[in-house]
Chains A and B, each alone.
Chain A
Amino acid sequence: MTILVIAEHDGKTLAPATLNTVAAAAKIGGDINVLVAGQGIGAVAEAAAKIAGVAKVLVADNAAYAHQLPENVAPLVAELGKGYSHVLAAATSNGKNILPRVAAQLDVDQISEIISVVSADTFTRPIYAGNAIATVQSTAPVKVITVRATGFDPVAAEGGSAAVEAVAAVHDAGTSSFVGEELAKSDRPELTAAKIVVSGGRGMQNGDNFKHLYALADKLGAAVGASRAAVDAGFVPNDMQVGQTGKIVAPQLYIAVGISGAIQHLAGMKDSKVIVAINKDEEAPIFQVADYGLVADLFEAVPELEKLV
């Protein structure tokens, strides 16, 4: 068995989710190869070669693969993937965009967002917003799988010395082009990789009030997230959304502030090690999953918490 892992990166740096995906590959067993596709990605390929347990890094460096356009990257992955037992990608917006296209090209069903490996062909994954866990077996010749990062502890980023090999194949479908992007800039840790996450919900009342959470987060070295209600209300941008259809996080500490605890939000954070809920409504469902609940006005509690930590 040889497993192909698609590296997650922004063209410059290798994203941590790649390490969780390699960890899932290691659980399956067999040789692990990593594909880095993009343009001007030498530094990413170098980083991928250092990942513990990786045997070989394939580098497809071409303008067609810049910005990870799925119309061009998916045919590349499908072509290479034919020679592998498994093709894995992180369940990031990129992985979710590209991998089903690969699976269809290989004429196999995909298994989305696995959270554990039972055996080389059997995996578990959440369905119904995490209200049920399905055990799924694949008989596909190439098993195409996205990996939920929070289900697997990352492998070491250093320690490996994989061979790096260039891939010459160029696929340019010509059906799509990149126009632009608006990426949020933040000095805080990335939401899905942070050890502590402070999230705000509708109870924050407006975007300006999120400053209380930013102040607390900066004191704790935490990332800041939000519930769907807060994002829909326009308080904060969509990239901060934690939930079933947003980001899935599982930090050491999750502090939910002014969040009622809708099912779809819980789906995104209930695997956190310790959950704190601060809400003035003592009936809020969030308290049913919280290790520590504080019934209080968040506008008094959060500044006080910031002072005391």
Chain B
Amino acid sequence: MYRYDEYDQAIVDARVDEFRDQCRRRLAGELSEDQFKPLRLMNGLYLQLHAYMLRVAVPYGTLNARQMRMLAHVARTYDRGYGHFTTRQNIQYNWIKLEDAADILAELATVEMHAIQTSGNCIRNISSDQFAGAAADEVTDPRPWAELLRQWSTFHPEFTYLPRKFKIAVIAADEDRAAMRLHDIGLQLVERDGALGARVYVGGGMGRTPMIAPLIRDFVGADELMSYLEACLRVYNRYGRRDNIYKARIKILLHEIGADEYRRQVEEEFLAVKQLGIDPPAAELARISEMFASPPFDPAAPDSVDRTDPDFALWLDQNVKPHKQSGYAIVNISLKPIGGIPGDASAEQIDVMADLAERYSADELRVTHAQNIVLPHVRKADLYPVWQQLGEAGLAEANLDLISDIIACPGLDYCALANARSIPLAQKIGQRFAGAGRQRDLGELKLKISGCINACGHHHAGHIGILGVDKKGTENYQLLLGGSGAEDVSLGRITGPGFDEDGVVDAIERVTDTYLQVREQGERFVDTYRRVGMQPFKEAIYG
């Protein structure tokens, strides 16, 4: 885990002071709402339908127990006892008072946390692989790189008023657990001739115009990465569209000028920028990397697990993933109980997860972009007591990557932009497929719901995606099939005319029934879809 030094702490403390001053000026009427808006947004404070929402950064999704407990404390003290984990690996609180916002940031700063750049037209929280440091397939731990990027992008003087928001993801494995190519910049760390560097993808994104990022550079060495990214951002800052908010993301610039022309402009800029001494020395990456060293694993930890309890065995098969260290495992805690709100956790549940991390997982937790929590380093011998304690807290749903492990945006229940509700629909779908046997029979099936075209619920990247739209004043849902946010990245296609809330649940059932009829041995839903195409599903849905 990264730990702040005096410089990091001073910067976060200064931010609290600054935001306190900005809130005071707004409350005193010295700032108009129009002037205050970009300032509060750069601190993660949104005005929603009913109250302010505060989004707290969880850099690259990594937390320790002390930080997790602070998140519970904020939920209890300043919200209604809940926190909502997001697809950006952050947490947000939906019932915040403007008067409390600076105090919350001050409390967060005591545990090395902040809400810096969790919104606004700037570089947002850097996201990463939730299994970083625990996965067997990574070439290096991506988190030190993500921390380097966090520091570089924090209050970047040139890139704070970009045409639109800017999201960067860093992974270090071929398996993509972070939807890397659906980011404005996706970095895959790779090794070349014994040196580490990044493969750079630019111009991916979801929203109303989903695009998969093309490869812009095959390799940038660690010693030039910041210069290269400055060049990428500068071309965007200068030439990204500012006349239309819906065409302002970097993906539109790439689409309009083409990847080759964008690459040429970046290379030209890079030639100049790399002379400026912007890149931190190798010693800085080494300093950060030391803090992410593996916890002291017990080489004698037993590698077998007693599977006698059948419910435990189900959870083991579904939610526990292999660890790089023999005798250890990665535990996924589902925040998708049947009938619950995807990504929500109560203050009590957050505390339980903090306690378990401290006792069983080397004091580490991760937030995933699928709105779940990970305990990355659990001894196999401890899995049974961990499962039991999760169960007591209502956190042992064995549905990771199954149809009820739904990503959903807050939707019309909270969000001022939404056209339709997402949460009640997620609850209905969960209930329809609630039978554990039924879900497992369907296998890996990633279902994602967005309540409007902005696609916060990643519907384009769902094996099954649902998009809520407004149809002459009533909520209507379009169905998409065949998307993926993983290494087999693809964008879903709309099946045809939309449905009402119950209609879309029925349509999903016809889709999954069709899959069960036509699938071949070993095929996931998305594999079958790719093999047989849209037609059989369309016939089943619309007859």
Q: Determine if chain A interacts with chain B.
A: no
Instruction: Give chain A's interface residues, CB within 8 Å of chain B.
Output: none
Instruction: Give chain B's interface residues, CB within 8 Å of chain A.
Output: none
